[in-house]
Amino acid sequence: MINEDVKHLYATGFFQDIRIDIEELTDGVQLIVVVDEKPVIRRIVLEGMEVIKERDLRKDLGLIEGQVLDEFAVKQGLNKIKERYANQGFHFVRVRYRVETDRATKEATVFVTIEEGAKYRVSEVQFTGVQSFKEKQLRKVMKTKPRNLWLFRLGRFRDEKFRDDLDRLTAFYQSSGFLDVRIGHDFEYDDARGKMILKISVEEGKRYVTGQVNVEGVKTLPESEIWQRLAMLPGEIYSQQGLAQEIQSVRDFYHNFGYMDVQIVPDVKINQEQGKVDVTYRVEEGDLYFVDKVKIRGNTKTKDIVIRREIRIQPGEKFDGDAIARSKQRLENLGFFEEVSHGTEPGTAPNRKDIVFQVKEKRTGELSFGAGISSIDQFLGFAELAQRNFDLFNGPRFTGGGQDLSLRARWGTITRNFELSFVEPYLLNKPVSFGLDLYDIRREKRNVDFREERLGFGTTFSRAFAEFLRVGLGYKLEQVELFDLESDAPEIVRLFRGKSWLSRLKLFLKHDTRDNVFFPTKGWLGSLSSELVGSFLGGDEDYYLLQGSFTQYWSFYGGKHVIEWAARLGFADEFGDSPEVPVFDRFFAGGLGTVRGYNFRRVGPIESGSAIGGASMALMNLEYSFPIPYLENFKGAAFVDVGDVERDTYSISFDEFRVSIGPGIKIGTPIGPIAFYYGLPVANRDVEDENGRFEFSLAHPF
């Protein structure tokens, strides 16, 4: 009993020594508890630090003046200080402490002395024992990189990151069939230069392949469908990662047919002598589940109907994993929510479950003013009032209805635009979109012999005919004025001097399978359109435009590296009494957005030194974007642009194609997105294009 009491006293943390004295009395014994209290910390003094701020070290130390001194806690704090120094390259730091106690007051001063030592940076990563891969493949797996200022690498060594690197190397080998791999490491230091060499030793071991593969327990679905989802078949490289992917693939297949509790249990037998792994997939199908209710939570502004019309699974239907994933994707593409997640809850019957979509609203209204520069517009300013989740009938907040309303103004050296647009994506809660636009656009002279102003309005109706397909019809009435012509302006420009009324119908088709409309990494977007401008519609001119575009996205390394391939084709031709397709509706190319590296609008027909546009256009763009190590908001890019604009209709000349290549940097900043490209023409370049040119843009909201 006494021992337990002593333990409880020690557990309070206030005493460094406890003694029990027993004194015999005539009628019993007297217990006297003699304690030696721990001192109270009066002051904490840190000495010797130069690189790291004292307040950060005090936070790591974790001691507070006025608390009881706990030597175990002090040692824990010293270890955290050592870890901080090690993560900044100080691997031989010495951290000591001493305590001075005033015995009269039982107050202590804790002195922490730091000897930082030399700071080391990684100069080289060496491998030994590597036989099956190139060393550069292994270096790519690691996040610890040698110092290289040209590649923005500082060579910083962090213990925690390096331990993760060793785990990544092990996982890399095991994913390639080397199940018994062993990774070791050592360090070599150059004290004079402050450099360190990482020496990584590899014992690869045997490479395992898949032996026999069996599937058991399949009852309700075709077993042949299961086999189609298995890629790790006999003779293929075996890995735990591959096994996990196979299990997930089969599980997803069952989820698409409503078997939400399916279990895939692998029975793995490793034959080390033969280097083979036999796998049996035991399927426990479970029950077939149906949707009971579809619940929505977290929408404090957005109406339920706006969310429900994007959901692709309904009460009473079998559970469908693909439909649930597509619903989540559509909700994310609205741009109304910071987060979208989903889960399940028990329903009203054993084989029924509720689906719960949880959303977190974000700000969708925006009032912004800005200024910036670009290689096309030079100086520009803008102002925008926008609400992407507008509701015309929900005053005074006017939010939550899923409509899009924006008022934009932009003025620059080359352009001046004023635009008002409104979009109702579900007219009368049907999959029919209605759009209305009013605009006033002015373009100043740049490589052309005229100034241009467009004033008009347009309206559009479109309908979704399938999950990814939309067909639409639009009408636009506008007045276009060409003025301030140069005296030697080409004939095609002088033909349309003054004001022209244009009345046009547009029929278009769009197919969109992109995973994210804001930052796509996979899928494709295709569109076809035909525009008919006619005097029979009340205008002054007769001509038509046919255009098509296609953009495909591929990604790898978890979506961080993206390849984008785009192609555009356009043709225009006059009919009736119109002598030409007007210069203001012809195709132009050259510069950012078309063929980088060539002068703005100078890819195509030129007369009297002025660009006149063409009736045929073909453009192709290939761009690879990738993250830049250690620079979170920076992305590098490399591109190839190909394009041609010809004067005559249906007259693309492959011999005249302009081609440019170059690098780029894209930066996401708090003041807006910045993009820099350097385009170097390599085919059919003019004298003015020989040295290439920088293309850049900056938008600065404030």
Query: Looking at residue 189, what is its pLDDT?
Result: 84
Query: Looking at residue 99, what is its pLDDT?
Result: 86
Tell me, what DSSP letter sits at residue 206?
A: P
Q: Nearest-CA neighbor of 409 among 445, 434, 438? A: 438
User: What domains appear along the chain, each with residue ranges and CATH number?
Assistant: 2-37 (no CATH), 40-115 (3.10.20.310), 121-203 (3.10.20.310), 209-284 (3.10.20.310), 290-361 (3.10.20.310), 363-444 (no CATH), 447-701 (2.40.160.50)
The CA-atom distances, in angstroms, between 536 and each of 455, 502, 539, 540 are 20, 11, 7, 9
* Residues paired with residue 28 on neighbouring β-strands, in sequence order: 25
* Residue ranges, the chain, pLDDT below 70: 1-22, 29-37, 147-155, 369-380, 447, 630, 669-673, 687-689, 698-702
Residue 576, classified by CB atoms within 10 Å of its CB into exposed (0-12), middle (13-18) or buried (19+), is exposed
C-alpha 49: how far from its chain's center? Answer: 39
Residue 139: its H or E element: helix 135-141
449-504: pLDDT as tens digits: 788 899 999 999 999 998 999 999 999 999 999 988 888 888 888 899 999 999 99
Query: Looking at residue 701, what is its pLDDT?
Result: 35
Q: What are phi and psi of 256, to 5 degrees?
A: -65, -15
Query: Looking at residue 148, what is its pLDDT?
Result: 64
The CA-atom distances, in angstroms, between 373 and each of 376, 411, 484, 680 are 8, 11, 25, 21
Query: Looking at residue 519, what is its pLDDT?
Result: 85
Query: Looking at residue 691, what is its pLDDT?
Result: 77
Burial 447-485 (b: 16+ CB within 10 A, else e): bbbbebbbbbebebebebeeebebbbebebbbebbbeeb
Instruction: In whole angstroms, give the CA distance from residue 75 to residue 81.
Output: 10
Termini Cα distance of the chain: 72
Query: Looking at residue 378, what is its pLDDT?
Result: 58
Query: Looking at residue 699, what is its pLDDT?
Result: 46
Query: Looking at residue 119, what is its pLDDT?
Result: 76
